[in-house]
């Protein structure tokens, strides 16, 4: 029997198990297998993803290993990054409130704000189709229904669909099919978005490797970028998710897409525990 110390955190209901690397090593399991086991909501702790801090980076203050609940890796996760930032600062793995993190999507820079929120510089959106990656048309047909789509990458691929309908049933019905659509060779997160006002939207997401989740930070960022590019919103938008709200700011435009995207939202502890393998 092996006991591993774990921390459970959530950002707008998007929840994560965080395990220090030395604790993870006790398991003698591959990281993807450990992620599947510990994220299982019936036989494990239950989470959308597993995060393990990586302290031996050379060109950044810290790094991470990030796994979805199905054991797949993700290039980035905005809600996970906010939780990670709070965790590593509180546990003195970094000694400053603004720092750099090495991820599979490149260097990400979170900042802990005085009001308890976390602001993350998510970097520049990727709109070049080959780099998203996206190979197809901007009109997608799923089960006989046609959708106009805007593909965007925030280090991981997103398919944004704007609608006047309740976005939740659409995410539930069509999300699983779009995730694996041939237009997206590395699969995709799918966001259904309803514009409420020039500075507010509702978003529901079917996440690649997770399914329906309460929140998706990179999805919120990608949705605001897509909305600005389609002249649907202003540059700073409140994004209402199932688990709460985040704020996204992007000063880009069709004429200048090379602006950083900023994500602001909460990060909260849920519990600390000993997990028995």
**Would you please indicate which residues are annotated as catalytic (active-site) residues?**
77, 216
The secondary element (H helix, E strand) that includes residue 159 is strand 157-162
The pair of three-digit structure tokens given for residue 78, joined into one six-digit string: 């905005």
Task: Please count the residues of the chain.
Answer: 277
* Residue 139 to residue 129: CA distance in whole angstroms: 14
C-alpha gyration radius of the chain: 18
Question: How many whole angstroms separate alpha carbon 227 and alpha carbon 203?
Answer: 12
Assign 3-state DSSP to the chain and report helix, strand, coil percentages, each to 5.
Answer: 20, 40, 40
User: Token pair of 69, please?
Assistant: 């609940």
Work out the angle between the directed axes of helices 217-229 and 78-90 (0-180°, nearest 10): 130
Pairing state of beta strands 150-153 and 145-148?
A: unpaired
CA–CA separation, 219 vs 4, rounded Å? Answer: 31
* Other CB atoms within 10 A of residue 194 CB: 18
């Amino acid at each position: 029997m092996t006991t591993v110390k774990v921390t459970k955190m959530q950002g707008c209901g998007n929840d994560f198990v965080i395990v220090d690397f030395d604790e993870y090593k006790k398991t003698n399991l591959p990281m993807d297998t450990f992620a599947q086991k510990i994220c299982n909501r019936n036989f494990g702790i239950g989470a959308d993803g597993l995060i393990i801090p990586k302290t031996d980076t050379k060109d950044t203050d810290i790094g991470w290993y990030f796994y979805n609940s199905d054991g797949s890796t993700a290039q980035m996760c905005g809600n996970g990054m906010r939780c990670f930032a709070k965790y590593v600062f509180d546990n003195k793995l970094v000694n400053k409130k603004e720092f750099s993190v090495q991820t599979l999507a490149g260097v990400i820079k979170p900042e802990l704000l005085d009001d308890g929120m976390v602001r993350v510089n998510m970097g520049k959106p990727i709109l070049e189709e080959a780099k998203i990656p996206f190979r197809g048309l901007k009109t997608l047909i799923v089960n006989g229904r046609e959708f106009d789509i805007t593909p965007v990458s925030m280090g991981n691929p997103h398919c944004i669909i704007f609608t006047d309908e309740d976005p939740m049933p659409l995410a539930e019905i069509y999300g699983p099919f779009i995730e694996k659509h041939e237009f997206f060779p590395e699969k995709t997160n799918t966001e259904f978005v309803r514009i409420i006002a020039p500075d507010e939207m509702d978003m529901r997401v079917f996440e690649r490797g997770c399914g329906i989740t309460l929140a998706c930070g990179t999805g919120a960022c990608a949705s605001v970028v897509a909305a600005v590019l389609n002249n649907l919103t202003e540059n700073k938008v409140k994004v209402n998710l199932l688990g709460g709200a985040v704020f996204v700011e992007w000063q880009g435009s069709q004429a200048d897409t090379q602006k950083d995207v900023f994500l602001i939202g909460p990060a909260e502890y849920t519990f600390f525990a000993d997990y028995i393998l």
